[in-house]
Structure 1
Amino acid sequence: MDENKRRNEVVKAGTHAAIVNVLLALLEALEGLFVGSFAVMLDGLSHITEAAGSVITVLGTKYAGKQADHKHPFGYGRIEYMSGLIVAGLVTYAGITALVESVDKILHPAEPAMHFYTLLVVVISLVARIFVGRHDIHTGHLYQSSALVHAGREELTHSLISLGTLISGAVYLLFHIQLAGIVGLVISIIIIYSGLMMLRDSVSRLLGEHLDKALIGEIKDIINSHEAVKGTYDVVINNYGPVAHTGSVHIAVLDTM
């Protein structure tokens, strides 16, 4: 895989996601202030954390592309795993914040400020989050960027906030029943769980994971294809980034060589 192309594509996807989220944050913040809806303002604030996650992904990817030096002879590729860890932390923090706010709404219910245009803004936010999230996840898997995958999952997870705001707002407009606190509580628990799973995956990558057996098999097949090699054993591969590996392998040859 061309490392420069990979880095450029990840940076481009992260930059586009950050711009979209900043615009959505401004749109929802203005709408929330205009109608006095805390739920919409909170939804807009969550776009800021998503934009921050995208910026962290971009910066992490750029910094990970630094050339190896005397202090770090294997390069800076693992910084991408660290940026993924930070994004996972942002998701968890957003879930905890939503949980606190939801409990407060349940204990101290207040009449929400909602109208048709407010729900339209939330629908735009929901659709944009799903589109950007799916694009980031696809690009992240395609170019082996766990940070971008986590940023995409953050988008999809936070789309639940938009969905919850939409459902509770529609129910209130139609039936005058307040569900914001209860819906928010359920969604916040889902977000926290998703964030913790992302944290687990990021920590696992930082600790070092077992290499894919199929890849080990391919390495052995390539080495064994040489007529002088009589066996391949003890393949050890160390990971220094999504596309940066180094390692060693023991081979058997005739003792007359």
Structure 2
Amino acid sequence: MLSKFLVSRFIRNYKDTKEENVRIKYGFLAGTIGIIANFLLFAVKLSVGLVTHSIAITADAFNNLSDTASSIITIVGFKLANKPADEEHPFGHGRIEYLSALAVSFIIMLVGFQFVKESFDRIFNPAEINFSFVPFVLIVISVMIKFWLSRFNKFIANSIDSGALKASSFDALADVIISSVTALSLLLSKWISFPLDSYLGILVALFILYSGFSLTKETLNPLLGEAPDQTLVENIKSGILSYEYISGVHDLVIHNYGPGRCMASIHAEVPCDISIVKIHEVIDKAEKELSNKLKIFLVIHMDPINTNSIEVNKARHELEKVLKSFPLVKSIHDFRVVGDGLYKNLVFDLVVEHTKGFKSEDEERLKKEIDKELKSIHPSYNSMITIDKDFTVL
């Protein structure tokens, strides 16, 4: 496979895609190949266009020259995203890669709008299409090169999980679709006079617009704050729970500062009767080791819990039995019993599944129903509930 050969030929340690320098080299390679391919198409088409005095071929040549913009944006985006952190941007400049993907997505939509306009113009002002061998061959060659370029960019994008290269891949694919429709129209013009290319052009343009909009939405999601990757979430939770004394985790929040640049904070439940110095050593070790292993910046907050009190364990067990009848409740944390004498306050946080339409009044209703069920079992219990949000849910 040519794509794998190019990667292995020009990128040292190409399999280690988590390394920042390797990832940048992937982006540079994709951008460079894109510039070379589009410039070669421009040179060939321009030469043929000037020799044959074909305005269509000459115009298509400059279209290929403009396509180098996507590749240049990709290279510049990777270059700027790799700038080190500074006082104004303490977590680096990784989100610039999302902005470069957004720019390419806008270019794709611009192509779609332009193609819609040209297709409608041809419907209302049809022009006779005459088959010519040289333009037809050039279009076929262009389709083949652009199709490979699309597959190459997609291969690189999947290798390093790059939204910018996914957009560049579809940018090349859009040219493949447009050129294929043009080639089909040229071929059919030998037998039919109906302006089929105009109507096919509208369908293709609408598809390009939809795809450009989808790419824009996909690129905006990490900028707006989408839910984190579930594999990363599970790796953080299971990693922390593997350390001694840590019995539970909650309140995981992950901030995305660009591909491969994440900051995460989480609460870890630890026994309240363990030495602060001892448990701090465990937490500090977990932070450093998991940060290096998962390529993130991890901060762990300690939540001491009472695990040896018979009263606390009994109250928690009774609460857990009650919560089984509430399917919206996913988990509880920060559970404690407050008060002396017969009457006790059960203080805890609930993580609930926020389904569509779940509002603040629904939260209050849920609290009252749980409190009512608890009192039916133990009248001296009074619940103090905080509804918590799971920030890792897709």
TM-score if structure 2 supplies the norm length? Answer: 0.62
Contact 1:234 1:249 in 2 (8 A): yes
Contact 2:128 2:193 in 1 (8 A): no
Q: CA deviation at 1:21?
A: 1.1
Matches within 5 A, 1:232-247: 232-247=249-264
The equivalent position to 1:223 in structure 2, one of 226, 235, 240, is 240
Q: CA deviation at 1:37?
A: 5.2
Q: Compared with structure 1, are the counterparts of its residues 45 and 101 closer, same or farther at alpha carbon in structure 2 (3 Å cutoff)?
A: farther
- The yes-or-no answer on 1:36 pairing with 2:57 is no
- The yes-or-no answer on 1:24 pairing with 2:15 is no
- The yes-or-no answer on 1:146 pairing with 2:163 is yes
The equivalent position to 1:104 in structure 2, one of 103, 116, 121, is 121
Total equivalences in the alignment: 256
User: Residue 330 of structure 2 corresponds to which residue in structure 1?
Assistant: none
Contact 1:75 1:240 in 2 (8 A): yes
- The structure with the larger Rg is 2
Contact 1:37 1:113 in 2 (8 A): no
Q: Which runs of 4+ in 1 moved over 6 A?
A: none
Amino acid at match of 1:170: L
Q: CA deviation at 1:35?
A: 5.3
User: Residue 179 of structure 2 corresponds to which residue in structure 1?
Assistant: 162
For structure 2, the residue ranges without an aligned partner over 5 or more in a row are 1-17, 275-394
User: Residue 88 of structure 1 corresponds to which residue in structure 2?
Assistant: 105
User: Residue 5 of structure 1 corresponds to which residue in structure 2?
Assistant: 22
For structure 1, the residue ranges without an aligned partner over 5 or more in a row are none
TM-score if structure 1 supplies the norm length? Answer: 0.93
Deviates more, 1:241-250 or 1:15-24: 15-24
- Deviations 1:225-248 (CA, angstroms, capped at 9, x unpaired): 111211111111100001100121
Q: CA deviation at 1:26?
A: 3.1
User: Residue 199 of structure 1 corresponds to which residue in structure 2?
Assistant: 216
User: Residue 154 of structure 2 corresponds to which residue in structure 1?
Assistant: 137
- Deviations 1:7-58 (CA, angstroms, capped at 9, x unpaired): 01111111111210122133334444525353x4554444234311111011
Deviates more, 1:80-89 or 1:192-201: 192-201
**What's the secondary structure of 2:201's corresponding residue?**
helix
User: Residue 114 of structure 1 corresponds to which residue in structure 2?
Assistant: 131
Q: CA deviation at 1:75?
A: 0.2
Q: Distance in 2 between the 1:100 and 1:29 partners? A: 24
Contact 1:235 1:250 in 2 (8 A): yes
Q: Distance in 1 between the 2:272 and 2:234 partners? A: 25
Amino acid at match of 1:187: V
Q: Compared with structure 1, are the counterparts of its residues 174 and 41 closer, same or farther at alpha carbon in structure 2 (3 Å cutoff)?
A: farther
What is the identity percentage for the equivalent residue pairs of Structure 1 and Structure 2? 33
Contact 1:164 1:184 in 2 (8 A): yes
Deviates more, 1:79-88 or 1:182-191: 182-191
User: Residue 185 of structure 1 corresponds to which residue in structure 2?
Assistant: 202
Amino acid at match of 2:270: V
**What's the secondary structure of 1:122's corresponding residue?**
helix
- The yes-or-no answer on 1:15 pairing with 2:32 is yes
- The yes-or-no answer on 1:51 pairing with 2:68 is yes
The equivalent position to 2:90 in structure 1, one of 70, 73, 82, is 73
- Deviations 1:47-79 (CA, angstroms, capped at 9, x unpaired): 234311111011000110000011100000000
Q: Distance in 1 between the 2:253 and 2:264 partners? A: 5
**What's the secondary structure of 2:267's corresponding residue?**
strand
- The yes-or-no answer on 1:214 pairing with 2:231 is yes
Q: Distance in 2 between the 1:22 and 1:113 partners? A: 27
Contact 1:49 1:94 in 2 (8 A): no
**What's the secondary structure of 2:255's corresponding residue?**
strand
CA RMSD, Structure 1 to Structure 2 (Å) = 1.7
Q: Distance in 2 between the 1:190 and 1:49 partners? A: 21
**What's the secondary structure of 1:69's corresponding residue?**
coil
Q: CA deviation at 1:176?
A: 4.7
Which has more helix, going by share of residues?
1
Which has more strand, going by share of residues?
2
**What's the secondary structure of 1:173's corresponding residue?**
coil
Q: Distance in 2 between the 1:67 and 1:168 partners? A: 51
Deviates more, 1:176-185 or 1:221-230: 176-185
